[in-house]
Amino acid sequence: MFDRTLERPEKSFFLFGPRGTGKSTWLKARLGDAALVIDLLSSAHYLRLLANPHELAELAAPLKPKSWVVIDEVQRVPALLSEVHALYEDRGLQFALSGSSARKLRRGGADMLAGRAIQRFLHPLTSSERPETWSIKACLEWGCLPGVVAEPAHAADTLNAYVETYLRQEIMEEGLVRKLEPFARFLGTAGRYNGQVMNLQDLAREAMVARATVDNYLGILEDTLIAVRLASYRPGALVKEVAHPKLFFFDAGVARACAGLLFEPMDSLWKGAAFETFVLGELRAFNDYARRHRDIYFYRSEGGLEIDFVVELNKKTLERPARVLCIEVKAAKKWDSRWCKPARALAERRPKVDVTRTIGVYLGEQRLKLDRFEVWPIRQFLAALHAGEIF
C-alpha cells in the first residue's frame, strides 16, 4: 500500500525495526513469492524450530544456491542463526532475517553471522512515504505507523492494541521481565516523559519501582527499539553542559498510547514533544535509508541554552574541528526570533566546533532568513531532507 524508501540489499541482511513498522510487508514486496518464508510468529514454525533448529536445513533442502530464505521475527529462536550461518557457507543461500532488536540477539549470545549479513532498519512511514491526505496534525496526534495511517478512523484503537500486543508478545512471552505489572506502570510513566531530559530518580518514583529497575526497563525499551536515549552533545567547552540524555519514543502515537493519553486532548507541552519526536523520526529514517551514518544529539547548557538536535556532520580530528548542523524545532505557526539564540550562542562560543548551518523548523507557512539562521516550514524542510539537501 505504501512505497517504502528502504532499498533491498543484494546480499544477506538483517532487517530490524519496532513491531508494526511493516517489516513483513516490506520483505514480501521486495522478495515476492520466490523466497522460502518462515514466520516465527506462526506456532507451527516456532514450535518446530524451537525444539529442533536443525530442521531449518530440511526446509531449505529443495532450494538452489543464491535462493532467498526469509525468517521473520528471528529473535524468537536465536539458535537458528547458527544454522543460517552454516547454510550460508555450505549451500550459498541468501537470508533476509527480520526482528525487533539486534542487541537482544547479541545479548543472548546469538551468532550474528560474523559480519556476513549487513544490517538495515525500518522506521514508521516518513513524509515521502505517506499519502498527501495524512496531515502533520495527524502525525503529531496519532503517529506514523503503517496500520494507523492506513485506517485513520481507527487510529486510537490500533494504538491501544499496539501497546497491549507489545506487552504481551514482546515482554511477557519473551520473558523479559519477571512481573508485567511494574513494567506496565513504568511504560506509562516513560510515555509521559517522551521528549524530556531523563531524571532516573523521578522515573523510578513515579513508576513505583526501584532505581536499578529503571535502568533495566530502559534497556528493554531500547532493545525492542521502542525508545532511544538521545545523548547530550558535549563539545567540552567552557560552560557546563547537561550530561543526561533525552528519552524519545520511536513514534509520537505510540508514546501517547503508552502514556495512556489517547483519549485526552494534547496540551501545548505534549504537542511540542510530539513535534520533536516526529522530526527526530524523520531525521533517523533519512540517516538510515540514505546511509549517512551521522550521530544525532541534543544540546543543553546549565545556563538554559537548548538546541533540539545537533547533527554531527564530521567528527573532530587533529587537523579540523567537529562540524555540526543545529536544528531547532517549534510547534508554532509564528517564528519567534528569540528561538535563534541558542544555536547562535553555540556558534559564537565554541571555537573548537564549526557550526556550519543553523535551521529552525516550525508549523508556519513562510520560509525566513534571520542573518545566517534559516527558518523552514515543516513540509519544505522534510522535502529538502529526503532530497539530501539538509545533510
Answer yes or no: do 263 and 141 share one domain.
yes
Decide if 127 is inside a domain: no
Decide if 145 is inside a domain: yes
The pLDDT tens digits for 240-273 are 777 899 999 999 999 999 999 999 999 999 999 9
- Kindly state the average pLDDT of the residues 148-164: 97
Least confident of 257-261, 301-305, 309-313, 376-380: 301-305
User: What is the percent of the chain with per-residue pLDDT over 90, rounded to a whole number?
Assistant: 82
Decide if 68 is inside a domain: yes
Answer yes or no: do 147 and 93 share one domain.
no
Q: Which residue has the higher pLDDT, 15 or 111?
A: 15
Total tally of structural domains belonging to the chain: 3
Least confident of 37-41, 142-146, 272-276, 283-287: 37-41
DSSP string, 368-387: EEETTEEEEEHHHHHHHHHT
| Range of the structural domain that residue 146 is part of | 136-229+247-268
Answer yes or no: do 208 and 288 share one domain.
no
| Number of residues written out for the chain | 391
- The reply to whether the predicted model has a pTM over 0.85 is yes
Answer yes or no: do 152 and 254 share one domain.
yes
- Among 121, 152, 179, the domain-final residue is 121
- Kindly state the average pLDDT of the residues 285-308: 93
Decide if 111 is inside a domain: yes
Answer yes or no: do 292 and 358 share one domain.
yes
Decide if 86 is inside a domain: yes
Decide if 5 is inside a domain: no
Taking 90 as the threshold, does the pLDDT of residue 175 lie above it? no
Taking 80 as the threshold, does the pLDDT of residue 106 lie above it? no
Answer yes or no: do 203 and 288 share one domain.
no
- Among 238, 268, 298, the domain-final residue is 268
**Is the CA virtual torsion 294, 296, 302, 307 positive or negative?**
positive
Residue 176 DSSP class: -
Answer yes or no: do 187 and 221 share one domain.
yes
- Kindly state the average pLDDT of the residues 63-72: 96
Answer yes or no: do 73 and 151 share one domain.
no
Answer yes or no: do 77 and 35 share one domain.
yes
First CA to last CA across the chain, in angstroms?
Answer: 29
- Among 74, 90, 121, the domain-final residue is 121
Answer yes or no: do 93 and 64 share one domain.
yes
Residue 77 is part of a domain; what is its CATH number?
3.40.50.300
Which pLDDT does position 101 carry in this prediction?
A: 78
Contact 78, 50 (CB under 8 A): no
Answer yes or no: do 101 and 152 share one domain.
no
Q: What are the cell numbers at 104?
A: 537482544
Which pLDDT does position 328 carry in this prediction?
A: 98
Decide if 49 is inside a domain: yes
Answer yes or no: do 201 and 163 share one domain.
yes
Taking 90 as the threshold, does the pLDDT of residue 301 lie above it? no
- Kindly state the average pLDDT of the residues 347-355: 80
Contact 320, 352 (CB under 8 A): no
